[in-house]
Amino acid sequence: MSAPPLALWAEITVAALVLTGAAIALAGSLGLLRLGTFFERVHAPSIIATTGCWCIMHGTLLYFSLQGHGIAAHPLLIALFIAITVPVTNIFLMRAALFRARRMGHKVPPHVSRTEAAGTAHPTGKSS
């Protein structure tokens, strides 16, 4: 049994959402390639992956819901899991890289959890 054809407005909306999501994902990939340091590079894919995924999710949700099978929950669940896991993973990767950079003596932003007066010594023995 074949699925009923979608209305023109639905086809255009689905195509626009999926293409927008793909373009956003491409922009994030280019940002990953073009930015120099890890701390600059880590933002582009994480923010863009979530935004692009949500656009594609809305397109697939609309497409499968209009096919007559009720509301399609699987795209929503996939987007929800990505929206939860990508930022958490990003935070862990950034904290690990920041810890490693501090241990190696690289110039990085100061700790946020403790306040230090200007010119006081860091735990690594270097002054700020």
Give the tens place of pLDDT for each residue, 37-80. 887 788 777 778 788 889 999 999 999 888 877 787 888 888 88
Average pLDDT score over the chain: 81
Cβ(50)–Cβ(87) under 8 Å? yes
Residue 126: per-residue pLDDT: 54
Identity (one letter) of the amino acid at 50? T
In the chain, what is the greatest distance between 2 CA atoms, to the nearest angstrom?
75
pTM score, whole prediction: 0.69
Contact (Cβ atoms closer than 8 angstroms) between residue 83 and residue 51: no
Structure tokens at 65: 């819901």
Six-digit token string for 124 = 């690594």
Could you give phi then psi for residue 79, rounded to 5 degrees? -65, -35
- The DSSP letter of residue 121 is B
Cα angle: 111, vertex 116, 122; to 5 degrees = 70
Average pLDDT over residues 4-28: 90
Residue 76 and residue 57 in contact, taking contact as beta carbons nearer than 8 Å: yes
